[in-house]
Amino acid sequence: MINKKEKIYIGKAKGPINIALIKYWGKADEELITPLNNSISLTLDTNTFYTETKVTIQSIGENKDKIKENNISLKINGNPSKITKRIKNIFQKFLSLDYPICKELSSFLLDIKIESINTFPIASGCASSASSMAALVLAITSALKLDNILSKTELTKIARLGSGSACRSIFGGICEWITGTGDNSLAVQLYEKNYWDIGVKLIIVNQKEKDISSSEGMKITKETSELFKYRIEHIVNKHLENLKESLKEKNFNSFSEIIIKDSNNFHACCRDSYPSINYLNEESDYIMKCVFCLNKLYGQNICAYTFDAGSNAFLIYENKNKKIIDNFFKYIFVFDDINIDDLIKLMEIKNIENNKNEINKLKMSKPPKEKIMNQIDFNLGDGAKILYD
């Protein structure tokens, strides 16, 4: 039995970001955070980007009123207050579980402190909510000593209540979030991180915070876009099916085509919204052009792009081609330590003079703004993890 005097539970965890290949956009239920379509994502390693969260739960006396919603007092560092309600929902979900610790704690008043740090460049729009909510759920699991009791699948259902895409950061590798109608809306792991040696390069072109949050944006799109209705009824399931087929066959050519098309379709739906939403900018368009040029030079796709609700590009490739992709973008984006002849040699493409012209034409058409700010490389990584110290 828990002593009625103060008692403290502490847990720490680390959460990764994930990048969607088939996008989640549009909720079936705003409260339950269930999506209109399944989505598929890559969980990225935590070498550079991650959230670390420490949760301290303190029971401070009996909850005499027995009003569930009011027994939690939250102190949050490093998290905006607009997500307080969602964080409370996560705690309430834990307290409603059928385990002794949860039942006992739900009869107490609780003081909860959340201390969170993340390592992302400021406001880079890089899936910070997914990594922070996944870290939070694991930290609570650890604090309540439920880590050997709750399955990862159960944890995906709880993470979803913090931010839809967070459920995909519980597992590593390649994950799918299955729509469901409520408690059965969960994420599964399709493949482990070592299944296919895929790399991801994030090109940061903009560090400004986006004007319209994802939650708000997807609501507007669902309410106003005819194209979005078409996406849900006729496009997205076809993309899911085809992506799974290409994953099974490890067919990068079709894999990347579907990733690109789903990103394009998602952003077209944003544009089709009323009022129109645009998460992309001139630099994003230019990076798309670069990817099409690179793939054309090879006569097949060796690189895919995808953009989330922001203008920063995620490039996806097989790591066996990483050097080519690194050097191609180095050459394009003004890093002067590579020249065109070295690049062409590395690329091992035919039709040298013609292709040199193509690449230089592309380089010349770069948008006339400050150079690309930063590039960060990832491999596929593990899901959110408890930190024991």
Indicate which single residue of 58, 84, 92, 215 sits in contact with ligand 2P0 (rule: CB under 6 A).
Answer: 215
**Residue 45 CB contacts under 8 Å (≥ 6 apart), including other chains:** 16, 378, 379, 380, 381, 382
Q: Which one of residues 11, 15, 26, 33 is an interface residue with ligand 2P0 (CB under 6 A)?
A: 33
Instruction: Identify whether the C-beta of residue 272 lies closer than 8 Å to the C-beta of residue 225.
Output: yes
Both tokens of 152, joined, read: 């990862």
Of 157-165, 224-232, 243-251, 318-326, the segment contacting ligand 2P0 by CB under 6 A is 157-165
The contacts of residue 85 (CB under 8 Å, 6+ apart) are: none
Identify which of residues 39 and 79 has a Cβ nearer to ligand 2P0 in the complex.
39
Query: What one-character DSSP code corresponds to residue 301?
Result: -
CB of 388 to ligand 2P0, least distance (A): 28
Cβ nearer to ligand 2P0, comparing 108 with 171:
171
Phi, psi of 114 (to 5 degrees): -120, 120
* CB nearer ligand 2P0, residue 201 or residue 322: 201
Residue numbers 80-99 binding ligand 2P0 by CB under 6 A: none
If binding is defined by CB under 6 A, does position 312 make contact with ligand 2P0?
A: no
Cβ–Cβ under 8 Å, residues 112 and 57: yes
Stretch that binds ligand 2P0, among 149-157, 160-168, 350-358, 360-368 (CB under 6 A): 160-168
Out of 14, 23, 157, 201, the residue judged to bind ligand 2P0 by CB under 6 A: 23
Q: Which of residues 99-138 bind ligand 2P0 (CB under 6 A)?
A: 129
Beta strands in 46-194 (DSSP E): 51-62, 72-77, 108-118, 174-178, 186-191
Residue 121: cis peptide before it, omega within 30 degrees of 0: no
Going by C-alpha positions, the residue among 104, 43, 329, 362 that lies closest to residue 203 is: 329
Q: How far apart are CA 58 and CA 75, in angstroms?
A: 12
Q: What is the DSSP letter of 45?
A: P
- Residue 308 in contact with ligand 2P0, rule: CB under 6 A: yes
Q: How far is the CB of 229 from ligand 2P0 (least distance, A)?
A: 18
Nearer to ligand 2P0, 161 or 302 (CB): 161
Residue 24 engages ligand 2P0 in binding (rule: CB under 6 A): yes
d(CA 380, CA 197): 8
Work out whether 38 is an interface residue with ligand 2P0 (CB under 6 A). no
Min. distance of Cβ 37 from ligand 2P0 in angstroms? 10
Does residue 309 bind ligand 2P0 (CB under 6 A)?
yes
Residue 155: CB minimum distance to ligand 2P0, A:
16
228 part of the interface to ligand 2P0, by CB under 6 A: no
Q: Is 214 in the site for ligand 2P0 (CB under 6 A)?
A: yes
| Distance from the Cα of residue 325 to its chain's centroid | 22
**Which of 11, 26, 164, 172 is the binder for ligand 2P0 (CB under 6 A)?**
164
Distance from C-alpha of 328 to C-alpha of 320, rounded to nearest angstrom? 14
Round to whole Å and give the CA distance between 359 and 345.
13
Which segments of 219-347 are extended strands (E)?
304-307, 313-318
How many whole angstroms separate alpha carbon 51 and alpha carbon 122?
13
Give min distance, CB of 106 to ligand 2P0, in A: 25
Q: How far apart are CA 343 and CA 320, in angstroms?
A: 16
Closest residue to ligand 2P0, based on beta-carbon distance: 164
Task: Look at the block and give the residue holding tokens 């604090």.
Answer: 143
Tokens of 93: 């979900």
Nearer to ligand 2P0, 72 or 175 (CB): 175
Q: Please say which residue, 183 or 342, places its beta carbon nearer to ligand 2P0.
A: 183
- CB–CB of 314/306 below 8 Å? yes
Q: Does residue 165 interact with ligand 2P0 by CB under 6 A? A: yes
Residue 169 as a binder of ligand 2P0 (CB under 6 A): the answer is no
CB contact at 8 A, 338 and 330: yes
Minimum Å distance from CB 253 to ligand 2P0? 23
Near ligand 2P0 by CB under 6 A: residue from 20, 137, 138, 290 = 20
User: Is residue 262 a contact point for ligand 2P0 (CB under 6 A)?
Assistant: no
Residues within the interface to ligand 2P0 (CB under 6 A): 20, 23-25, 33, 39, 129, 163-165, 214-215, 308-309
